[in-house]
A = this chain, B = another copy of it.
Amino acid sequence: MKLKEFAKQVGLSPTTVSRALSGYPEVSETTRARVVAEALRLGYRPDVNAVRLKTGRVGAIGVIMGRFGEFHFAEFMAGMAERLASEDTDILVIPMADRDLNEEMQTYRRLAESRRVDAIIVHSPKPNDPRIELLDRLGIPFFVHGRSDIAIPHAWLDIDNEGAIRRSTEHLLDLGHRRIAMINGRKGLTYSIHRDIGFRKAFEGRALEQDAQLIAHDTFTDELGFRHARFFLESSNPPTAFVAGSMMTALGVYRAVRSLGLAIGEDVSVIAHDDVFPYLTAENMAPSLSATRSSMRAAGARCADLTLQLLAGRSVSDIHELWPVELNLRESTRPVR
A interface residues, Cβ below 8 angstroms from B:
43-50, 52-53, 58, 60, 65, 67, 70-71, 73-75, 77-78, 81-82, 84-85, 90-95, 97, 109-110, 113-116, 219-224, 226, 248, 251, 255, 258-259, 278-281, 284-286
Contact = CB atoms under 8 A, between A and B. Distances in A.
Contact of A280 (B48, B77, B223): B223
A112 to B, nearest CB: 9
A116 B222 contact: no
Given A45-B114, A255-B286, A279 B223 contact: yes
Contacts of A78: 65, 67, 70, 95
Q: How many copies does the complex hold?
A: 2
Given A81-B95, A251-B251, A223 B284 contact: yes
Contacts of A70: 71, 74-75, 78, 278-279
Contact of A47 (B65, B115, B226): B115
A54 B294 CA distance: 46
B113 A45 contact: yes
B58 A279 contact: no
B278 A221 contact: yes
Given A78-B95, A81-B65, A110 B45 contact: yes
B95 A93 contact: no
Contacts of A50: 53
17 contacts: A45-B110, A48-B114, A48-B115, A49-B58, A53-B53, A60-B92, A70-B74, A71-B71, A77-B93, A84-B95, A85-B97, A90-B92, A91-B95, A221-B278, A221-B280, A222-B280, A224-B279
Contact of A46 (B67, B90, B97, B114): B114
A223 B219 CA distance: 22
A18 to B, nearest CB: 15
Nearest to A55: B49
A280 B81 CA distance: 26
Kindly list the 7 A-B residue pairs having the minimum CB-CB distance in the complex, ordered from nearest.
A81-B95, A221-B279, A45-B113, A70-B74, A49-B52, A49-B53, A74-B74
Contacts of A278: 70, 221
Residue from the set A49, A116, A251 with the largest chain B CB neighbour count within 10 Å: A49
A53 B47 contact: yes
Given A43-B113, A224-B279, A259-B286, 20 more contacts: A46-B114, A49-B49, A65-B78, A65-B81, A70-B71, A70-B278, A70-B279, A77-B93, A81-B93, A90-B92, A91-B95, A92-B92, A92-B93, A220-B279, A222-B251, A222-B280, A223-B280, A223-B281, A251-B251, A255-B285
A82 B53 contact: no
